[in-house]
Structures are given as structure tokens and as C-alpha cells.
């Protein structure tokens, strides 16, 4: 027979913390009482009673000067206030995950939301949660939730907040969430199941599928232990729920070759060990884990020091921290802000239960038996080595600009603060560097001073490198007539300089427009993206002449395409001469209205009838395509009007 003990069996972080707080307070010589049994295990309660720790049921039973420890299940706001009125020292051992739920339902009430709690109504944890809001609903099954909605005719628009008892099953929670999502349109959901509990239940399910018999160790009154037994029975026919080794009926395991052992969160390690030892000593066990206990005992007395680098296994990912098993008596945890230097990274994105990770010891609390760890700090130490490599190998790296200061920009590269001088930012002198904040950029690390924790980088080095490569490609492929999409970089009185991808070419003012213009600014401005083509180039002098105006832009071609002799058009008088008036049909295309064609009578001079800027209707009477001349007539329209009147 082989016996396998679940890795997750026994105290969870919250229970372990509560037990250690009671032990520490009792050893300090204080008169200690717990409000209700500290955990659902009579053996632990009996042990503390022998140490002089009493159990009270109501706050009023506490005496002034007592040290009252609130158990990991937590209490209501009213109970807490009643304790304060008694003049006692309060040590709150409420599980951090439960404490978070208190805050959620309290805030929900302030927002006008009705809290719905999925859990056992009579469980101390649920009673405590309910006590942090004025009104709430507690449901033990999805059927109860559905019945309430239908019976009370709850409107779909009702503001709802959903939480779960930390020890509830994932299956029940998902059923309730799926129903609520379909029922309510104004719903906030908070998954508050403790991941340590979820992992313990998941491991129990997996172990019970591979074993012929299961032993669940724990107080039968504990809902946590009861759920483990229920989960095991779903996969295994032989399941024994025992309080301790004395409850074992060894005949129950006759003919069994594989036995699995798991335990609730309130079961002490010594009881689990006794159960395992009893089975190992009594039954012919081929493979037992007794040797593991010697190993665990050795590990449990290991000492940890601040600054140590240790390897541990992720056991759960909670809402505020990641719990890590270090193989010692200490409960290891990584606060969320110590998981990664990147604040946008979520722990579950880079870690999962069962991962073996190397971490940095930040703080050891032997009194509480906890170790604060940091993955971020250890990653940071490794990143400094990477930075030195980047300088040596001239590697291009990626980072996010986080701020602007007088001297330049600050960039976050793998959690390291990198300073980029203004001259290396790629922004022209006097330009607005604030536009870079929040952008992800490529840069090169140019200097690293680990002692001063200083790193300098350059965006310009990357752009210069890219520009050089682009220049080489352009000069290798350039030819007359080739088209490019470029950006106007600067303007002069004689033209515009355009970046065509690493190389600047010049568009002469005469090549910008078919019309007469005073300055290049009449057509383009700095920053404009325009299409240009190569007129000529000189590789030796690195000069490129570009053209912007095309035949399609030629106003004469537009005129010839769209207008014919006999068309009546609107024109604008642009110049008066002794022999007539020039009128603009299109920008860049003028026609002549001869003095004899201005009116249907003889006039002395054009200004007797017309003025510059005047809008007139004219008829196109002749087009000389070869000489690009157009004849216009107002008189023809006047005579045509007279004929129509007759």
C-alpha cells in the first residue's frame, strides 16, 4: 500500500496567523481570551485552554485589561464596537481575505448596492461579513438565489454586489455568478474565494481520483473539512472523515493499495502526522511519506534572514498577496506591489499555483511566523546585470517614458529608472518633450553606474542607427521619377526640405505649385506628409531634387478636361487693361474679356463697367490650346438674353 499526503493539507495562512498570535500573546503573560473558538478544531482549543487561554461567546464576557483575540473568521462591526466599549486590548486575527470582503460589502452599501453573499448563513465568517452592511442577502445554493429573485420579483436593474464565503466551492460560485449575470444589469462581482482553499479542494479532487481510499482529517464541525470530504466522495467510494488518529478504523482499508490523506485548513500538522504514522505502522505500507516528515522537520527549523535568496513554491494567488511555501515553519507571502516592477502586470499573468520561483527575503517576523518576500527586488538585481550587458553589446531595448524633467526624460526599462538627456531624446532643441510621456520607445543603454544606481540611455542613438540604415537603402535604390511619401522638415525662401525616409531632398519653390506663390509656406508647412518624386540626384554630394506638383495638379490640364467653347462659367475679374479685362476661371487659369465683349454697347474703358475682384458670368468663346489663351465674353450672354426675350 502507498500513502500520499496532500501538499496543501493543514493550516492555511489565515488560520496559521491566528494560532500564532494566540500563542505569542499567551507566552507574553497576558490574560488572553478568544471571541469564540480560535479555529474549528477542539484539539487546538484544548491546547490553548491548558495554556490559560479562555473562550468567550460574547464581548460583554471580556474583562477590562483582557487581551481579546478576534478569530480568523472575523466579526461584525457591531461586535467590534462592543469590544472597544469594554476597555480591552483587541488583537484582530481576521484573515486578510475575509477582511477585504468586509470592506467590499461596506462600500457596496455606501454606493446603494445590495450585497449578496454566497455561503452558509450560520457560518461565523458569513455572519461577520453580513455585519458590515445594513442589509444583505445570503444564499447557500443557486436554487435559493433563483427562488428569491422570482418570489420577491427583484427588478433586473437593481444594483447588486456579489461576494462569496472564502471557503465556498468554485462550482457553486460559478453557478450563482452565471445566474446573476443573466438576471441583473447593474451587477458588481467580486470573486472572494480563498485561492488556498480552492487549491486544497482541487488537490483533494485530483488525489481522490487516483486513490482507492481517502482520509480527510479535521473537525467534523468545520465546513471547510466537510466540503473536502464531499469533494472526495464525488471521485472515490471509500472516504473516511476522522478527527484524529484514534478515529481511524483500519479494517476500512482492507484490500486497498493506494490511500490519500488531506486535511482542512483548521487541522494542525501534528494530527496529520499522527494519522499518517498510525496507518504506516499498522498496515504493511510499501511507500509511505514518513521520511518526508523528517525532511519537513529539518526544514521547519531552518533560519531565514533578510537579504537571503530562497526558492519556494506558489501555493495560492490571493487578492492582495501571493502565498509561497518555503519549506520552513514560516508562511511566506509576496505583496502585490512586490511581484513586478511593472504596475500594469497582474500576478496571475506571470505566476500560477505550483510554480517554483526564486525570491528575495525582505522581512522575517519570527513572532508571527511570516516572511515578507519580493520577486521584484530579485528581478531588479538580475536586471542590473542585464543593463551592463546591454551597454557592452549595444543592444536596443524597449521602455516606457514615465516623466519629463528639466534635463530630459525618465524611462522605465524592466523596472529600472533610465535617464535620457534632452540631447538624446530625439526631440529638437526647444521642442515639447512632454508629448513623449506615456509612450513606449526603443533606446540604447549608454552608461551604467550600479554603485550610484544610475543608468543613462539614448533614443537618438537608435534613431540615428535606423536613419543610417534607411539612408543606405535609399541611395542604393534611388532613381529619377521614383516616388516617395515624405515629411516636410523645414522651409526656406527658395523651397522645402522633405525627409523621404532617412534622407532629405529639396523641393524648389518652382516645383511646389503651378500657380505663382510668394513663399513655400503658401503650399506646405513643417510636419506635412506629402508625396514627391525624384527629379535628379547626386550621390557624391548627397543632394536630391524633388518635385511636388504633378500634371494632375496643372490648372491648364484641369481646364482642358472640364471646360469647352460655349460653356458659361463664373469668373473673377483680376486685372483691368486698356484693351479689356482678365478674369480668373480657375486658380492659375485666366481668360481675356476684350473691351468689345464687356458690354452690348460701346464703352470708353473697361473700368466704366467692371472693377477688380468683381464676380461675373462669362461665356467661353475661344480656346487656343497651343498658346494657352482663352477668350471670354459678357456681351454674348447679354445678346443671348435679348434673343430669348424676343
Catalytic residue annotation: 125
Q: What are the two backbone dihedrals, phi and then psi, of residue 288, each rounded to the nearest 5 degrees?
A: -120, 170
Q: Pick the closest to residue 83 from 131, 116, 126 (CA basis).
A: 131
Report the run of H or E that residue 629 belongs to, with start and end: strand 629-633
Q: Pick the closest to residue 375 from 413, 399, 345, 402 (CA basis).
A: 345
Scored b (16 or more CB within 10 A) or e, 328-351 reads: bbbbbbbebebbbbeeeeebeeeb
* Contact predicate 347/359, CB 8 Å: no
Long-range contacts of 374-379 (CB under 8 A, 24+ apart): 374/334, 374/338, 375/334, 375/338, 375/339, 375/340, 376/337, 376/338, 376/339, 376/340, 376/341, 376/415, 377/338, 378/309, 379/340, 379/341, 379/414, 379/415
Q: How many residues in total does the chain contain?
A: 646
* Contact predicate 373/334, CB 8 Å: yes
Going from the C-alpha of 356 to that of each of 87, 310, 329, 352, the distances in angstroms are: 47, 10, 18, 9
Q: What are the two backbone dihedrals, phi and then psi, of residue 377, each rounded to the nearest 5 degrees?
A: -65, -40
269-282 and 290-300 helices, crossing angle to 10°: 150
Q: Pick the closest to residue 415 from 327, 339, 355 (CA basis).
A: 339
Q: Grid coordinates standing for 30?
A: 497576558
Three-class HEC string of 235-284: CCCEEEEECCHHHCCHHHHCCCCEEEEEECCCCCHHHHHHHHHHHHHHCC
Cα 273 versus chain centre, distance: 43
Three-class HEC string of 509-572: HHHCCCCCCCCHHHCCCCCCEEEEEEEEEECCCCEEEEECCCHHHCHHHHHHHHCCCCCEEEEE
Scored b (16 or more CB within 10 A) or e, 484-517 reads: bebebeebeeebbbbbbebbbbbbebebbbbeee
Give the DSSP letter of residue 345: -
To 5 degrees, how large is the angle CA 146–CA 149–CA 155?
Answer: 140
Report the run of H or E that residue 483 belongs to, with start and end: strand 483-492
Cα 191 versus chain centre, distance: 18
**Secondary structure of residue 119 in the 3-state scheme:** coil
Amino acid at each position: 500500500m502507498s500513502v500520499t499526503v496532500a501538499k496543501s493539507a493543514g493550516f492555511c495562512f489565515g488560520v496559521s496567523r491566528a494560532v500564532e498570535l494566540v500563542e505569542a500573546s499567551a507566552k507574553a503573560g497576558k490574560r488572553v481570551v478568544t471571541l469564540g473558538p480560535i479555529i474549528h478544531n477542539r484539539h487546538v482549543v484544548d491546547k490553548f485552554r491548558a495554556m490559560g487561554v479562555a473562550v468567550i461567546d460574547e464581548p460583554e464576557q471580556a474583562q477590562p485589561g483582557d487581551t481579546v483575540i478576534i478569530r480568523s473568521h472575523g466579526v461584525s462591526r457591531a461586535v467590534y464596537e462592543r469590544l472597544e466599549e469594554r476597555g480591552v486590548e483587541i488583537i484582530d486575527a481576521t484573515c486578510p481575505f475575509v477582511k477585504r470582503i468586509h470592506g467590499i460589502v461596506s462600500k457596496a452599501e455606501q454606493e446603494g448596492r445590495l450585497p449578496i453573499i454566497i455561503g452558509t448563513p450560520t457560518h461565523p465568517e458569513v455572519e461577520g461579513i453580513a455585519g458590515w452592511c445594513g442589509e444583505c442577502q445570503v444564499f447557500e445554493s443557486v436554487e435559493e438565489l433563483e427562488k428569491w429573485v422570482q418570489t420577491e420579483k427583484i427588478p433586473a436593474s437593481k444594483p447588486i454586489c456579489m461576494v462569496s464565503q472564502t471557503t465556498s466551492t468554485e462550482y457553486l460560485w460559478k453557478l450563482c455568478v452565471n445566474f446573476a449575470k443573466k438576471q441583473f444589469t447593474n451587477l458588481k462581482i467580486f470573486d472572494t474565494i480563498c485561492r488556498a482553499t480552492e487549491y486544497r479542494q482541487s488537490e483533494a479532487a485530483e488525489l481522490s481520483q487516483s486513490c482507492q481510499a481517502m482520509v480527510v482529517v479535521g473537525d467534523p464541525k468545520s465546513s471547510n473539512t466537510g466540503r473536502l470530504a464531499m469533494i472526495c466522495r464525488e471521485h472515490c467510494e471509500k472516504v473516511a472523515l476522522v478527527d484524529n488518529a484514534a478515529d481511524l478504523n483500519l479494517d476500512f482499508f482492507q484490500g486497498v493499495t493506494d490511500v490519500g490523506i488531506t486535511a482542512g485548513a483548521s487541522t494542525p500538522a501534528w494530527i496529520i502526522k499522527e494519522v499518517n504514522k498510525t496507518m504506516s505502522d499498522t498496515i504493511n505500507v510499501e511507500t509511505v511519506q514518513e521520511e518526508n516528515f523528517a525532511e519537513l522537520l529539518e526544514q521547519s527549523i531552518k533560519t531565514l534572514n533578510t537579504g537571503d535568496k530562497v526558492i519556494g513554491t506558489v501555493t495560492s494567488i490571493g487578492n492582495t498577496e501571493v502565498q509561497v511555501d518555503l519549506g520552513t515553519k514560516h508562511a511566506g507571502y509576496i505583496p502585490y506591489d512586490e511581484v513586478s516592477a511593472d504596475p500594469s502586470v497582474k500576478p496571475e499573468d506571470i505566476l500560477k499555483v505550483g510554480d517554483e520561483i526564486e525570491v528575495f527575503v525582505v522581512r522575517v517576523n519570527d513572532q508571527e511566523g511570516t516572511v515578507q518576500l519580493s520577486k521584484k527586488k530579485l528581478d531588479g538585481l538580475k536586471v542590473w546585470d542585464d543593463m551592463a550587458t546591454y551597454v557592452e553589446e549595444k543592444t536596443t531595448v524597449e521602455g516606457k517614458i514615465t516623466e519629463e524633467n528639466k534635463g530630459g526624460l525618465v524611462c522605465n526599462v524592466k523596472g529600472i529608472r533610465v535617464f535620457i538627456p534632452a540631447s538624446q531624446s530625439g526631440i529638437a532643441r526647444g521642442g515639447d518633450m512632454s508629448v513623449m510621456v506615456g509612450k513606449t520607445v526603443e533606446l540604447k543603454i549608454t552608461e551604467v553606474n550600479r554603485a550610484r544606481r544610475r543608468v543613462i540611455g539614448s533614443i537618438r542613438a537608435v534613431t540615428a542607427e535606423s536613419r543610417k540604415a534607411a539612408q543606405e537603402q535609399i541611395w542604393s535604390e534611388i532613381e529619377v521619377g521614383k516616388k516617395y511619401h515624405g515629411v516636410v522638415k523645414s522651409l526656406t525662401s527658395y523651397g522645402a526640405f522633405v525627409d523621404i525616409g532617412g534622407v532629405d531632398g529639396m523641393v524648389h519653390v518652382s516645383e511646389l505649385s503651378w500657380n505663382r506663390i510668394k513663399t513655400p509656406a503658401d503650399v506646405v508647412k513643417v510636419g506635412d506628409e506629402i508625396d514627391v518624386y525624384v527629379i535628379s540626384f547626386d550621390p557624391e554630394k548627397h543632394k536630391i531634387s524633388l518635385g511636388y506638383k504633378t500634371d494632375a495638379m496643372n490648372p491648364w490640364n484641369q481646364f482642358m478636361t472640364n471646360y469647352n467653347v460655349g460653356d458659361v462659367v463664373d469668373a473673377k475679374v483680376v486685372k483691368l487693361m486698356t484693351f479689356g479685362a482678365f478674369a480668373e476661371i480657375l486658380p492659375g487659369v485666366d481668360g481675356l474679356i476684350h473691351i468689345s465683349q464687356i458690354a452690348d454697347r460701346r464703352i470708353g474703358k473697361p473700368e466704366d463697367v467692371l472693377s477688380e475682384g468683381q464676380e461675373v458670368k462669362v461665356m467661353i468663346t475661344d480656346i487656343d490650346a497651343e498658346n494657352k489663351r482663352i477668350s471670354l465674353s459678357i456681351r454674348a450672354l447679354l445678346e443671348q438674353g435679348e434673343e430669348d426675350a424676343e
